[in-house]
Amino acid sequence: MQAIEVSHLTKRFGNLTALDDVSFSVSGGETFGFLGPNGAGKTTTIRILTGISTPTGGTASIFGKDIIRDTIASRKEMGIVHETSNVYDDLTAWQNLMFTAELYAVGKQMREKRAAELLDLFGLLERRDDRVRGFSKGMKRRLTLAMGLVNNPRLLFLDEPTSGLDVQSNLIIRDVIRDLNAQGVTVFLTTHNIEEANLACDRVAIINRGRIAAIDSPERLKKTIQSVQSVEVAFDSASPRRMDDLRQLPGVSEVRKEGDKFRLFTEDPSLVIDAVTAYAKAENARILSLSTFGPSLEDVFIRLTGLGIRTRGVTTVD
């Protein structure tokens, strides 16, 4: 049985079509990334999958239960971690967890045991009786995640879980997601952090303007645009003409400056490496580092969503 099954989902707000015939499925135990630019339809999809909003057309089910007809039973299977750390500032960490558990009708003994485990897991046990108002952003985020897990869900919706967090909170949350996945929990991850999706997800869906642009594993998606490769080079000296010079080299389709390095996009890295080496010699500049890169998931995302034109002259992907 699929954890999530979405079929021909459509959502219209007046004349605006927020979701247009969206179909996908997520297997049990899978970590599924849902990527898309702002306004692409990510939030609308999550609101429908969590039973908050009703679709104009199509169906969605959670572990075989129709989210429209059987909303409450479907919701019992899921934990939801909203994009905002929506904790109650005037309650303690413990009271926040107890309240969430009570909403899910978790029995007293079980919710107390579970809350203690989660506070320990997220490094908040010592602060359990402190009001959340005094917590840092990272601590609030960790508590939000703990609240999403208090009912021991089979499916976890994670909306931007690590956005803008400190390193410690980021690491804790990533470890927990990995552990959940190992325990067979299905994770539906919405993120702007493409590298996070690349590292965490078994499969990724890219949604754009209400339509699914692509669904596949990160590696397979990258292979669809092998033409977007790049050579990264750093020189020991700066030159005001360098960007223009590099842009003129054979095989280079685009140049971007990234810190003290230049990234040259190409279909033929070998040709560009030769050209860069020759250029350095001619300019009497020393090459500090030279690396080649395959296409990243970010490249796929940008290509499919049309967010940026960095791949002039390469074959487009449907």
Partner 1 sequence: MTEPAGKHGQLYAELFAAWAIAKKDIRIYYLKPNIIVSGAMFPLFMFLAFAVGRPAEPAVMIPGLVAITILFSASSIEPVSIPIERRVRTFDRLVSAPVSLHAVVLGESLSGFLYSIGIALVPLAAGLVIFRTPIISVFPLVFGILLTAFCFATMGTLFAAYPTESPGDIMSMLNMVRLPLIFISGVFIPVESVPAVGQAVVWLSPLTYGNDLIQASYHGHTHFNPLIDMAMLCIFILIFQVAANRLYKKFNE
First-to-last alpha carbon distance for the chain, in angstroms, is: 30
User: CA 249 to CA 5: how far, in whole Å?
Assistant: 49
Query: Could you give the dihedral angle defined by the CA atoms of residues 33, 35, 41 and 46, in that order, rounded to the nearest 10 degrees?
Result: 30
Question: How big is the site for partner 1, counted in residues (CB under 8 A)?
Answer: 34
Q: Which is nearer to partner 1, 80 or 187 (CB)?
A: 80
Nearest to 10 by CA among 47, 58, 48: 58
Task: Please state the closest distance from residue 112 (CB atom) to partner 1, in A.
Answer: 13
Using rule CB under 8 A, residue 88 touches partner 1: yes
- Judged by CB under 8 A, the residue of 69, 90, 168, 313 near partner 1 is 90
Q: What per-residue string of b and e applies to 38-47 under the rule 16 or more CB within 10 Å gives b?
A: eebbbbbbbe
Site string for partner 1, 205-234 (x = CB under 8 A): ------------------------------
Q: Residue 192 or 261: which CB sits closer to partner 1? A: 192
- Selected from 72, 167, 182, 238, the binder of partner 1 by CB under 8 A is 72
Residue 105 binds partner 1 (CB under 8 A): yes
Decide whether 78 or 197 has the Cβ nearer to partner 1. 78
Q: Which of 33, 36, 41, 51 binds partner 1 (CB under 8 A)?
A: 51
- Determine contact, residues 249/275, Cβ cutoff 8 Å: yes
Does position 106 interact with partner 1 (CB under 8 A)? The reply is: yes
How many other CB atoms sit within 10 Å of the CB of residue 183? Answer: 9
> Distance of CA 224 to CAs 26, 62, 205, 257, 315, Å?
22, 30, 14, 25, 10
Site for partner 1 in 115-174 (CB under 8 A): 147, 151-152
Amino acid in the structure at residue 124? L
Angle between helices 108-121 and 137-149 (to 10 degrees): 140
Q: Which of 20, 21, 104, 293 binds partner 1 (CB under 8 A)?
A: 104
Which region, judged by CB under 8 A, interacts with partner 1, from 33-41, 106-114, 169-177, 272-280?
A: 106-114
Residue 159 corresponds to which amino acid?
Answer: D
**Complex with partner 1: residue 100 or 170, whichever CB lies closer:** 100
Residues that bind partner 1 (CB under 8 A): 13, 50-54, 72-73, 75-76, 80, 82-84, 86-91, 95, 99-100, 102-107, 110, 114, 147, 151-152
